[in-house]
Amino acid sequence: MKITSLQNEKIKELVLLKKTAKRKEQGLFLVQGDDFLIPSLESGLAKEVFSLKEIDTKGVPLTLVDEKVLKKISLYEDSLSPIVLCKYPNRTIKKGKKMLYLEEVQDPGNVGTLIRTALAFSYDGVYLSSGSASLYSSKTLSSTKGSIFLIPCYEDVELKDLMDEQVEIIATSLKDAIDYKEVKPKNPFILILGNEGKGVKENTLKMAHKIVKIKMNPALDSLNVAIAGGILMERYQNE
């Protein structure tokens, strides 16, 4: 049976999932696009697929919809690629040897890019403080290019929940900091990146064992947080 009505109750519920509050309430989110189809189906998080035509969904229930319905629930303008309804991962916070902590990083594109980069350099997890961009917004998800399904990510995490006497804390700042190249992290460690405008909070900096910066042309006062994070994660792979 194909859904052809925009008044279908299931379709109405899917449209509401574009809002952060509704996603959190339901514990559900949507993904769309070629980068997401296979990873989401293989993640164990996919609940249902919505498509214009029959496709291999690897056992996940498939619902056919017409073009106007797919456009209504689409995350991106004019996209007609299949949409996958996924459930939030049921994760207890798990520490790793290499952890990336994002403190109030608010731009979804930066958050998504940092998640993708953390996967590229084999970090064990990405941890978002409250006040960071929503992990499951369409803009964040799009920037991850599907890596959201391949690396553990956690929302609303307090730094103290990751800390113990074994964990080295490395924070970034433009003042009272040393060149990042002078630091060789020991395992386990947390790399902290801060808000795009304000940087890492002063109280957080006080907890850090090392505060690092990236030297750059004096004509610039800072780097985009996603670019800075990529430079630091490449350096601090610590395999």
Q: Do domains 2-87 and 98-235 have the same CATH topology?
A: no
Task: List beta partners, residue 100.
Answer: 126, 191
Question: What ranges do the domains of the chain cover?
Answer: 2-87, 98-235
- In terms of CATH, what superfamily is 98-235? SPOUT methyltransferase, trefoil knot domain (3.40.1280.10)
Summary mean pLDDT of the chain: 94
Alpha-carbon dihedral angle through residues 139, 25, 90, 49, given to the nearest 10 degrees: -60
- Does 44 have pLDDT greater than 90? yes
> What single letter denotes the amino acid at residue 16?
L
Assigned fold of 2-87: 60s Ribosomal Protein L30; Chain: A; (3.30.1330)
- Does 160 have pLDDT greater than 90? yes
Alpha-carbon dihedral angle through residues 40, 44, 50, 53, given to the nearest 10 degrees: 80
Give the pLDDT band of residue 216 (cuts 50, 70, 90).
confident
Higher pLDDT, 165 or 101: 101
- DSSP helix/strand/coil, 5: coil
- Does 20 have pLDDT greater than 70? yes
Alpha-carbon dihedral angle through residues 124, 37, 110, 185, given to the nearest 10 degrees: 10
Q: How many residues does the chain have?
A: 239
pLDDT tens, position by position, 107-149: 999 999 999 999 999 999 999 999 999 999 999 999 999 999 9
DSSP H or E stretch at residue 43: helix 34-43
The pLDDT of 28-54, averaged and rounded, is 95
Percent of the chain whose pLDDT exceeds 90: 87
DSSP codes joined into one string, 78-132: T--S-EEEEEPP-------SEEEEESS---HHHHHHHHHHHHHTT-SEEEE-TTS
Distance between CA atoms of residues 69 and 75, nearest Å = 12
- Does 213 have pLDDT greater than 70? yes
Here the tokens at position 219 are 């004509």
Its pTM surpasses 0.85: yes
**Residue 238 has what pLDDT?**
66
